[in-house]
Structure 1
Amino acid sequence: MEINQLSSLVIKFETADMVGAPFSHQILLKMQFAGQGIGVDFQIAYIDREDLSEEEILEEGFSLNDDYSWKGQIDNAWLEPIKEILKKTPNKFNHKALEEEMNFFEIEVNQQSAGNPINQTDWEYFLQELIQAIYETSQKEAPFHLEYRRIDKDKNVKNFELNLYYAKRQAEGINSIGKTDSKPITWAQANAIIQQVFIGEFIPDAALKNEPKHTGKYISVGDGYWYEFTKSLKRPNGNKGYLTELEKTFDPWVD
């Protein structure tokens, strides 16, 4: 999609019909491009909860009011990535009817071109990044923090920390226990790691609440648990090499 001058972008999203409450939600994100920063008007509303009890909502890890709205500005570091995904978006929109398992997704550019982008999957991931930038900027959430720890048979401990600052679209890698030596890591590298990690199956009931002390490989993703490879972090169905590949991804950062 060729855009000579980007002045506004509106993104509308709604979870698929097959996604039930309390997970089902709608998102409206309006963006303005003028002056310093990117103007944002963001709203997320959780829907179809009328028939759920308070206990059912809380049991799924939600609160009784998860709706959120915010107006402000996000950093101009997001301007070029927004232009880049627009360039990769075909001018022709998708006009196929929505099926039960499909999310509703629509973009409107410069108050003119509007519709469902053919590269919807790319847009959905990008929208999640933008939302994290909004949450950090508005101080609703802290920057994302991931930690990988390998404890060898000789009790030698190797550690790698990954911090993603969505507000500034920056990444930081820190290796070794008690050290602050940063390893250069790009935003693209950091995102590739995050995407790879969250393919796995995380089992909180089998995870450690305290820092690991025994031989093994562990990962923490900021939820208060340490997940041990093969025990509380398992490969997804159909991906036999997941854990091996994950080890290959992290070990160079700690060795």
Structure 2
Amino acid sequence: MHPNSAKSIPTGIVLEYDSGIIPPPYSHVFRLALDWSKGSLQVQLDLHYTDRDELSEQEILDEGFTTQDDYSYQGALNKVWIKPVQELISQTKWTNKPLTEGGIYAILDENGKSGVSKTPANQDEWQLMAQDLIQAIYESVKKELPLKVSYRLVDSSDQIDCSLTVHFADRQVIFEKNGKDRIIHWEYAIQLMKMIFTPDYHYELAKETPGSKRGAYIECGDGYWHELGKGVVNIDPSFDAVGKIKSGFEELIRD
């Protein structure tokens, strides 16, 4: 094989993101650099919320933010994330097309050398990957706790309590039922989590304790229990997210 035809081996990647036309206090930019050239995973994150000088402090607080949301980190992350990132790199079609309304640019490090800025065609996948990695950083430094969703299913003969805890720090999902834990498939859990946060949650109907009458109840980590189909309803009549939540948990309960 001619030496110039050898395939470049990614040893790291830099992701640069701009939220685009999203208004403050949500608008933000970040730079996330990953380096696995020495076997471990070293990361550097710089995240900055933009245009907040247009808002009062109270307006920022009212949206659930603080005045200190910018964040920087440099250190190690569990190397379990290296393979998913490498797989996404290999599946990605790269272009030189500029982004018009925000998104992610990437700079690949190949064979120890930094390349040029490219645009991944699969923007949604890269934005989700970046969000997962940032969440992993937050968990690793104890800035945030793992996401835990509790679920209760009551039928005519039984009551089953279970929970799903997503540990981004080490990319593991723990399903607990009747005091017994087991690790479940990451992608299955993430797809179920997407469904969980798709419907409308009516907090005026929520309670601080789970229901005991026949039905399905869910608590998404904030201490409020909602009944599926009553306090949790589909936004789009053509897409039954509530039904998918029920079937997703029922499959886990059966296994």
TM-score by length of 2: 0.88
Alpha-carbon deviation of 1:30?
A: 1.1
Q: How does 1:40-59 map to 2 (within 5 A)?
A: 40-59=43-62
Q: Which amino acid aligns with 1:169?
A: R
2-side partners of 1:69 and 1:3: how far apart?
34
Task: Say if 1:13 and 1:104, in contact at 8 Å, map to a contact too.
Answer: yes
* Larger mean Cα displacement after TM superposition, 141-150 or 77-86: 141-150
Q: Secondary structure at the match of 2:117?
A: strand
CA distance in 2, matches of 1:184, 1:105: 32
Aligned partner letter, 1:192: Q
> Who is 1:219 aligned against?
218
State the partner residue of 1:157: 159
CA contact (8 A) 1:23 1:46 kept: yes
Q: Aligned-pair RMSD on alpha carbons? A: 2.0
Who is 2:97 aligned against?
95
The CA deviation string for residues 17-44 of structure 1, in whole angstroms up to 9 with x for no partner, is 1x11111111111112233521111121
Distance, in Å, in 2 between the alignment partners of 1:231 and 1:59 is 27
1:168 pairs with 2:170: yes
User: Equivalents in 1 of 2:18, 2:235: separation in Å?
Assistant: 26
Which runs of no fewer than 5 residues in structure 2 stay unpaired? 1-5
> CA, structure 1 residues 217+6, in 2 after alignment: closer, same or farther (shift >3 Å)?
same
Structure 2 match to 1:109: 108
Partner of 1:132: 135
The letter of the residue matching 1:131 is: I
| 1:133-212 mapped onto 2 (5 Å cutoff) | 133-153=136-156, 156-176=158-178, 179=179, 181-212=180-211
Q: Any conservation in 2 of the 1:40–1:71 contact (CA below 8 Å)?
A: yes
Distance 1:159 1:133 in 2: 27
Aligned-partner residue type, residue 227 of structure 1 = H
The Cα offsets for residues 212-250 of structure 1, whole Å up to 9 and x where unpaired, read as 344321111212221221232111224342222221111
CA distance in 2, matches of 1:59, 1:162: 29
Name the aligned partner's letter for residue 64 of structure 1: T
Give the gaps of 5 or more residues in structure 1: none
Paired with 1:87 and 1:143, the residues of 2 have a C-alpha distance of: 29
| Structure with greater strand percent | 2
Which of these residues, 9, 12, 19, is aligned with residue 8 of structure 1? 12
1:69-88, aligned counterparts within 5 Å?
A: 69-88=72-91
- Equivalence for 1:31: 34
TM-score, structure 1 length as denominator?
Answer: 0.88
| Count of aligned pairs between the two proteins | 245
Aligned residue identity for 2:218: I
How has the CA–CA distance of structure 1 residues 96 and 68 changed in structure 2, closer, same or farther, with 3 Å as cutoff? closer
Query: In 2, Cα distance between the equivalents of 1:162 and 1:23?
Result: 28
In 1, are the aligned partners of 2:13 and 2:35 still within 8 Å (CA)? yes
For residue 193 of structure 1, report the CA deviation from its aligned partner.
1.2
Distance 1:71 1:136 in 2: 14
Deviations 1:72-107 (CA, angstroms, capped at 9, x unpaired) = 1001101111100000111x4151551xxx332101
The 1:54/1:210 distance shift into structure 2, 3 A limit, reads farther
Percent same amino acid among aligned pairs? 27
> Contact 1:31–1:38 (CA<8 Å) still a contact in 2?
yes
Task: Name the structure 1 match of 2:243.
Answer: 244
1:123 aligns with 2:122: no
Report the secondary structure of 1:50's partner residue. Answer: helix
Distance 2:252 2:49 in 1: 39
